[in-house]
Amino acid sequence: MWGLWQPIDPTLDAEYREIRAALQLANRAGAVEASVLAQFDDAMASFAASIGAVSQREDVNQAQRRAQMVDQFCAETDIEIAVNIAGKNGVTFAATKVRGVAEAQGLVALASGEYVLKDDYGRTLFSLRNGNTHEAPTLRGELPYFTQITLHLMCHARRSLARFLSVCSPGASVCGCSAW
Q: Is the pLDDT at 173 greater than 70, yes or no?
A: no
Q: What class does CATH assign to 80-179?
A: alpha beta
Q: Is the pLDDT at 117 greater than 60, yes or no?
A: yes
DSSP 8-state secondary structure symbol assigned to residue 32? P
Q: Check: CB of residue 157 under 8 Å from CB of residue 107.
A: yes
pLDDT of 149 reads 62
Q: Check: CB of residue 45 under 8 Å from CB of residue 55.
A: yes
Question: 180: pLDDT confidence band, cut at 50, 70 and 90?
Answer: very low
> Which of 173, 159, 28 lies closest to 83 in space, CA to CA?
159
Question: Worst-scoring range by mean pLDDT, 37-41, 84-88, 119-123?
Answer: 84-88
- Give the integer Cα–Cα distance in Å for 85 and 130: 10
Share of the chain above pLDDT 90, in %: 20
